[in-house]
Amino acid sequence: MNLQNQIELELYFADHFDTILFPVLANIYLKQNDLKRARKVCDIGLGYHQNDSAGLFTLAQIEKLEGNLKEAETALEHVLLYSNDHLAAAEMLCEIQTVLGRASNRLLKSWKHVLTLDPENSTAHNFIEKVKSGSNKKPKKKILKPKKETVGKVVPKKIVLPPEPKIVPKHLLDQPVEPLQVSSRLATFTLVVVLKNQGLFNQALEVLDALEEKGENIESIALERETIQTLISKSQKD
């Protein structure tokens, strides 16, 4: 299949709704600002791969463009639940949470995570320093009013825990995998994440090579390579 051919991708997707490559087609529609088709592809693909971080990130971008910031926030939180090293999702989450006016401690946690992924991120450094300088100020003393006695038994609220990530089966690394032969023009970090999440590590490394040829961010490429090599080593030990 030629991943550079939109029509061929559309025909393939029509016959294989369960394909792991659905984010590639969704991103093509997204770049064309065809949000309706992009959402449709994501809805179908996530129906089969509900924890796919690349598909969830594309969905978050759609929600953001349509002004559904709370839905975008939820999608991004799911992305980071299943792909904790997704820098673009971490940065977008901070941006959206700022617009939504989330609590400073919540924003601080989000920006600190960005800083772990990108230690040179100036925005993260500025926000964290601003919060720290503000916390050094002495808070005003509050006059506590006596609490009124509550009538009746207080029922504690039920704590809802986030869903646990599904256990991914052991990757069959010994099986031969046909090279993707992705051109530098088509190669994207989204495709790298898709392949990595499905255990197609060698193909993901090929896409990283194509990204390097295209002149993409060397640090991001190096970080992805290191992550994939770690996953390969871990899978071989299991």
Confidence of residue 185 (pLDDT cuts 50, 70, 90): low
pTM of the model: 0.60
Amino acid, single-letter form, for residue 45? G
Asked if residue 63 has pLDDT above 90, the reply is: yes
The helix-helix angle for 87-99 and 53-65 (nearest 10°) equals 30
Give the pLDDT score at 167. Answer: 38
Please state, in angstroms and rounded to a whole number, the distance separating the CA atoms of residues 119 and 121: 6
Tokens of 86: 């997704």
141-156 pLDDT per residue, tens: 555 565 555 445 555 5
Please, which residues have CB within 8 angstroms of residue 37's CB and are 6 or more apart in sequence? 29
Round the average pLDDT of the chain to a whole number and report it: 80
Pure H helices in 66-137: 69-82, 87-99, 104-117, 122-135
